Structure 1
Amino acid sequence: MALVPYDENLLPSLVKLHAASSDFRFAERSIRLAQDWRGGGVAAVVWDAAVVMCMYLELGHVNLKNRTAIELGAGTGLVGIVAALLGADVTITDRSLALKFLEANVKENIPSDLQGAVRVSELTWGESLERYASGGYDLVLGADIVYLEETFPALLRTLDHLSSENTEVLLACRIRYERDERFLSMLGNRFSVQEVYYDSERDVHIYSAVKKKTKPEL
């Protein structure tokens, strides 16, 4: 079930979310992602934040070659797929209910020679984090994952666990409500956060966060 109200007559601009698939061109490849709003809700459609994140990655602002990346709340998998096509070794994650749909999109869009560089894995924020290497990733990616305030503590624990002081966290999101600003403030307690990109047409911000260095004990 979708987590936000939707009425086709009231919000015609969101009709694209009801399309059975969505087509993109990134990393010199055509990408077609299946969508299923009615069956999978917000996790089964492509949101603008994911598109803007992919644009940002494709512009070369981040070095992806031979780097380890993990995508949180991947949904249809667009960001993780593009990161892999641009040279990263990627773990693409979401909750267990979304995995079958996510796996199908990854299989459809990752060429055979890159299959070994991509894996789909279950990750519910804040749970069983020991399954993932502490500080074991160069990049942590998230597109439109900052919207439910009750998930903020678990998301912050997850980001903290996955990141070392050399990890860059990239979050693409709209700032819709005061709670979104509160999340950035909470993130700033453990990370140095700065806005690195803004798409005015889609009203999507990209924030870069790097874990603050801990002071050595005297």
Structure 2
Amino acid sequence: MALVPYVDSVIPALSKLQNLSARFHFANRDICIAQDWRNLGVAAVVWDAAVVMCMYLELSQVELRGKVAIELGAGTGLVGIVAALLGAKVTITDRMPALDFLSANVKANLPSDVQDSVVVSELSWGENLDRYPAEGFDLVLGADIVYLEDTFVPLIQTLQHLCAEATVVLLACKIRYERDANFLSMLRQWFTVEEVYYDKQRDIHIYKAWKQPPRSDL
């Protein structure tokens, strides 16, 4: 969601973020994702939450074939790419400065017969939502998009717009700070939320959410 400029780091755990590419094997394909931490910051590196989300999509009972999906805050596009390889029709979104980089990763990693099932599109949460069909998606995906408190309200507004009662939302994230847990509390005002997976090694939670039906007492 946010573009953060590069800062040289001596923390070894962050060194992999400065690699120019990251390689994975999902959906029976080798995937090579370009990274550009120096110029685009957090939007242009693969975070653990995206990897765990892809593992979950590949191994779980989430039905993707033929489904209409949208990825929010896609960054490098890994999650949307894997969802498309697994059979979904995917709109992969991020803010405008990240789109050229995102589009290049999508083009480089999808075979020609799958590329027609993917659209890369600009989406700043809470803005110009009428560009996207209201309640028009079967699945909404987000990996490591819960970290900036200022984005919580527009993110929830965006989810409310995109989701019908049958829509499944999957969010993969770390709970780093109290504000992250506060986001889940905010989300529960409008959605039913449950944790469906936890990767202990990477400390990544996956939450499933779906829209609560309108209250009859209002």
Q: TM-score, normalised by structure 2?
A: 0.96
Which runs of structure 2 are paired with 1:173-188 in the superposition (5 Å)? 173-188=173-188
CA drift of 1:3 comes to 3.3
The letter of the residue matching 1:65 is R
Q: Quick one: percent identity of the two aligned structures?
A: 65
1:55 aligned to 2:55? yes
CA drift of 1:96 comes to 0.5
In structure 2, C-alpha distance between the alignment counterparts of 1:104 and 1:116, rounded to whole Å: 15
The letter of the residue matching 1:169 is V
Q: Residue in 2 aligned with 1:151?
A: 151
Q: 1:5-59, CA deviations, whole angstroms, 9 ceiling, x for partnerless residues? A: 85532x1111100000000000000000100001000000000000000000000
Q: Residue in 2 aligned with 1:3?
A: 4
Unpaired runs of 5+ residues, structure 2, are none
1:203 aligned to 2:203? yes
Task: Indicate the RMSD between aligned Cα atoms, in angstroms.
Answer: 1.5
Q: 1:56-105, CA deviations, whole angstroms, 9 ceiling, x for partnerless residues? A: 00003200010000000000000000000000000000000000000000
In structure 2, C-alpha distance between the alignment counterparts of 1:121 and 1:170, rounded to whole Å: 19
In structure 2, C-alpha distance between the alignment counterparts of 1:144 and 1:153, rounded to whole Å: 16
Which runs of structure 2 are paired with 1:35-184 in the superposition (5 Å)? 35-184=35-184
In structure 2, C-alpha distance between the alignment counterparts of 1:148 and 1:78, rounded to whole Å: 21
Contact 1:2 1:38 in 2 (8 A): no
Unpaired runs of 5+ residues, structure 1, are none
In structure 1, C-alpha distance between the alignment counterparts of 2:3 and 2:153, rounded to whole Å: 22
